[in-house]
Amino acid sequence: MIISVMKMILVVEDDININQVVCEYLKDAGFEVISYTDGLKAKEFMAGGTRIELAILDIMLPGFSGLELLKIARSSEHLAQTPVMMLTALSDEQTQIASFDNFADDYVTKPFSPKVLVKRAMALLRRSGGDSGHLRLGNLEIDLQRYTVQDQGENIKLTLKEFELLKTLLTNQQKVLSRPQLLDLVWGYDYFGDDRIVDAHIKNLRRKLKSNLIQTVKGVGYKADEKI
């Protein structure tokens, strides 16, 4: 049985192109995303009680500004502790201070790198505890807090990079990830080495794991799936 642990991120950005780019990069990193281009609709969603692990808010929005949404989140019982990243073209000191005075966790100015944005989102989730728990696929289970792996009841010893690679594949269960995507997600956006390092680590994982869950999709990349 597959148990989903995908993290839900709220993106509120009125520029449709920026909204789509941010959402696609977050989805490629294994997150679920719900997005709005209107502050009022985002306010209605936030009032509904849906659990999210991170909010990314533009400041200049129609309906309600990002700062108003930030204040609403911090006064809400179910969102008070949720990390909030402000994403805006406003770089003036006063707006940044207002954001942090209202307990924003991060402030990113446009233009920005979508890859770096994803890394900052991951860092916020780690610090908030939003990246904790377990991932399971078949008889394979990994503990994200203790960095341990069990397969068919047996403890499996992995290197840190092998663990991160396995975690990324399980976070994106049944989704094919290309070698460049895995390089970005596991080794980082600033890695400039040969993508054959992915193949080498996949080979090591297959050798160590008892379950045959890592599949090659020829010409594309790899995925974690129980179905052969």
Question: So where are the chain's domains?
Answer: 2-128, 134-224
* Over residues 16-21, mean pLDDT: 96
| Res. 1: pLDDT tops 70 | no
* Over residues 61-76, mean pLDDT: 93
pLDDT for 125-136, tens place per residue? 877 765 556 788
* Over residues 58-65, mean pLDDT: 94
Residue 69 binned pLDDT confidence (cut-offs 50, 70, 90) = very high
Residue 228 binned pLDDT confidence (cut-offs 50, 70, 90) = low
pLDDT for 175-207, tens place per residue? 899 998 898 888 875 566 677 899 999 999 999
Distance CA 83, CA 202 (A): 33
Q: What is the structure's pLDDT at 3?
A: 35
Pick the CATH number of 2-128 from 3.90.550.10, 3.40.50.2300, 3.40.50.280, 3.40.50.620: 3.40.50.2300
Architecture of the 134-224 domain: Orthogonal Bundle (1.10)
Q: What is the structure's pLDDT at 172?
A: 83
Residue 151 binned pLDDT confidence (cut-offs 50, 70, 90) = very high
